Structure 1
């Protein structure tokens, strides 16, 4: 990794840029990037640091989005309570899905998560709680500490604060003893078992944490756009987060953030120009990245830095 002494300075520079972003960029676009960056970071915790590939993470994003939307619109709970409910709901769903899927490995684990996520999707499609194909529209943003969140600027700083907290949680988890055990499981699971670690329990904890943070991203997304729809829980969204993570760099702290920024910005800039062809363009970009930058954008940048200072790169 890069020089630890320089990393905090990089984070502070990024935070400073985000603080002034609303004056330079459309705040709703930056909020969307932040939501998907949190989602991608949560997914990277599972894939990059535990070695578990999930094809069903959209179930947690969509489930939290629906629960938060219903809580704010129908139950009229305070905004922060709605966010908390969505996050806890996603964690509970993650515990159920993880308990069922964690017993499998490799492609069988991935297909199990996809199958269970599709089951959740069809439950959302047929449920009156979610509004079916119409979704839940006109979700009120409410207010926090007296600040009216109907203002995009006020909401932006709430989203930024929550996203920064989520990023800190993931960063702290990665660099804690818990994170070191996850890396050991990823590198050599039989050896971790031989050392006495309950591997399935650690995998499940990582899965639940990843689901909870993914749910937080979905809850924030509901606030930003004031609606929750089936697209939040669709398998295509699960594919997008895989793309974001691989493009930015699996197993890197900032990789998913960079990947989410690239994909969301491309979709925003090209959607009204090329329509559905935007998916083809992002596919070409992904293919080029896989062929030319197998470590992802951030991973290759770190490898280049290490070569420049004379470190050996695997």
Structure 2
């Protein structure tokens, strides 16, 4: 095993240890859970953009739809949290399949615009459907008991469940990217005509990537609803689709850690600045994003990896 691999594993071990210790060193569990949910969302988006090269402008729709479905089933239908989460993932994957079958026929900006248009339709349904609560949102979603054993009302128990889901999703994405299927996705991202000439059914690969990404995004939305106890229209709004693009680019598109770093950075800034500068938090985050795009085009993690590569080359 190379020294680079050893260093990488040590770094991941330190990060995991910090996440495990977070509730015991004074970090607010609800903030950490929210950040982990958005980290899952950003990882899902990165699977599509960073490794497949498809830019979706409507990914919040799948998070929002899953959030509403899970919230209603757990609160009104009395479903257990694990079944509510599963239902949210299935709904998000189903919507992703329908939208993907339509959008995957186009490329570039046309693909992005179709995903945005379809997402706006889903947002309209979330606004008008009787069970969503309209502009008031879906309130009072109980956390319940996981598998009839673990009381999720306890913040510490809930945090470790969210952390376990995050680690499982992260490892699954790593496995997907390193699999033969993931290598084909990278080939499509780099040169789609060449992938077609090699005999790959490119549309099938892209459609599966789109469905996988929307399913994981749905998991993030469902988990967020269980954690916070509500689902609102902001979960399905186009502005959240823009935020996940920001998280991915800021952290480092096409890297495993990048979306996680980007999500924690954005959620941390929003949480820290909201009470201090009010609505100006959006302007400040925008300025930071512009600076990073100009000065760190690969994102935070991408630049760090490039710097480490240059050091090894010397």
SS of 2:71's partner is helix
**Secondary structure, in 3 states, of the residue corresponding to 1:129?**
helix
Structure 2: unaligned runs, 5 residues or longer? none
Residue 272 (structure 1) aligned to one of 275, 283, 291: 275
**Structure 1 residues 158-173: aligned runs within 5 Å:** 158-173=161-176
- 1:43 and 1:127 mapped to 2: Cα distance? 26
- Partner in structure 2 of residue 281 of structure 1: 284
Distance 1:52 1:155 in 2: 33
Instruction: Report whether the alignment pairs 1:234 with 2:237.
Output: yes
Q: Distance in 2 between matches of 1:9 and 1:144?
A: 32
Could you say which residue in structure 2 is the equivalent of 1:57? 59
Look up the SS of the partner of 1:252 in the other structure. Answer: coil
Which residue in 1 is equivalent to 2:7?
A: 6
Which whole-Å CA distance do the structure 2 matches of 1:193 and 1:4 have between them? 33
- Gap regions ≥5 residues in structure 1: none
The counterpart of 2:259, out of the listed 256, 268, 274, is 256
Q: Distance in 2 between matches of 1:220 and 1:15?
A: 20
For 1:166 and 1:122, the matched residues in 2 are separated by 29
Q: Give 2:106's match in structure 1, choosing from 104, 108, 129.
A: 104
Rounded to whole Å, the distance in 2 between the matches of 1:290 and 1:211 is 26
1-structure distance, mates of 2:100, 2:31: 32
* Cα displacement string for residues 49-94 of structure 1 (whole angstroms, at most 9, x for unaligned residues): 0000000000010011001001101111111111111111101111
**Which range is displaced more, 239-248 or 125-134?**
125-134
TM-score (norm 2): 0.97
| Structure 1 outlier segments of 4+, above 3 Å | none
Output the CA distance in 1 between the equivalents of 2:270 and 2:288: 12
- State the 1:153 CA deviation: 0.8
1:296 aligned onto 2:299: yes
C-alpha distance in 2 between matches for 1:215 and 1:6: 33
- Residue 6 (structure 1) shift: 2.8
Residue from 116, 119, 122 that aligns with 1:117: 119
Cα drift, residue 14 of structure 1: 1.2
Equivalent-residue separation in structure 2 for 1:283 and 1:32 (angstroms): 21
Counterpart-to-counterpart distance in 2, 1:76 and 1:288: 48
1:290 Cα deviation after fit? 0.3
May I ask how many residue pairs the two structures share in their alignment? 311
Partner of 2:131: 129
SS of the aligned residue for 1:269 comes to helix
Q: Of the candidates 33, 36, 44, which is equivalent to residue 35 of structure 2?
A: 33
Following superposition, the deviation at residue 144 of structure 1 comes to 1.7
Alignment of 1:76-225 (within 5 A): 76-145=78-147, 146-225=149-228
* Deviations 1:76-132, CA, capped at 9 Å, x for gaps: 111111111111110111101111111110000011100100011011101012121
TM-score, normalised by the number of residues in structure 1? 0.97
